[in-house]
Amino acid sequence: MITHTRRIALIAAAAVGLAGLALAQEATKMGMVNSQAVLEKSAEGKKALAQLTAADKKYTDDITRMDDQIKQLQNRLTTQRLTLTPEAAAGLQADIQKKQTDRQRAVEDASRSMQGLQASTLSRIQAELMPVIEQVRIDKGLDLIFDLTRSGTVYFNPTLDLTDEVVRRYDATKTAAPPVKK
């Protein structure tokens, strides 16, 4: 059985522990960064998005050209079916099937290429951003910085949002003169 004095000592120890935990929680300083907004607002992010869009347009245009060629062959087969020899019709059908196979391979290749380009581009930008975010964290004396795009945050105080400062500093690192090589 716990004595009255011991019970008071345990309650006091628990209170001190909880107070220390509360102080530690209060002392934690946090900030938020919206990585998607950094990508969309920063000069380097806009440049990367433009490159990705241009590559996607090129692949889309190539596929559209292949679709047009297939349609032309199908129209030719349909309109000339009665006048074509069986061998010519079979040859035209074989050409259509080959073009359809080529188109499917082109779609798969384009998809893989775009995924690789997106991954490498976003990885490069993320690697460039991390020192900028770390410096903002140090300058502001923060303990944690969350990425709103990835964190699943439901609500945050807008004063914690560091996105515009990160964009400004990131752009500054890209416009700074490159170091002189000796």
Band of residue 23 on the pLDDT scale cut at 50, 70, 90: very low
pLDDT greater at residue 11 or residue 99: 99
Burial of 152 (0-12, 13-18, 19+ CB in 10 A): exposed
pLDDT of residue 182: 53
pLDDT of residue 113: 96
pLDDT of residue 72: 96
pLDDT of residue 21: 47
Angle (CA) 107 112 116, round 5°: 145
Average pLDDT of the chain to the nearest whole number: 84
Between helices 43-80 and 163-175, what is the axis angle to 10°? Answer: 90
Is 0.85 topped by the overall pTM?
Answer: no
DSSP string, the chain: ---HHHHHHHHHHHHHHHHHHHHHHHH--EEEE-HHHHHHHSHHHHHHHHHHHHHHHHHHHHHHHHHHHHHHHHHHHHHHTTTS-HHHHHHHHHHHHHHHHHHHHHHHHHHHHHHHHHHHHHHHHHHHHHHHHHHHHHHHT-SEEEEHHHH------GGGB-HHHHHHHHHHHHHSPPPPP-
pLDDT of residue 144: 85
Domains of the chain, first to last:
30-171 (3.30.910)
pLDDT tens, position by position, 99-158:
999 999 999 999 999 999 999 999 999 999 999 999 998 998 888 888 888 876 656 677
pLDDT tens, position by position, 47-91:
999 999 999 999 999 999 999 999 999 999 999 988 989 999 999
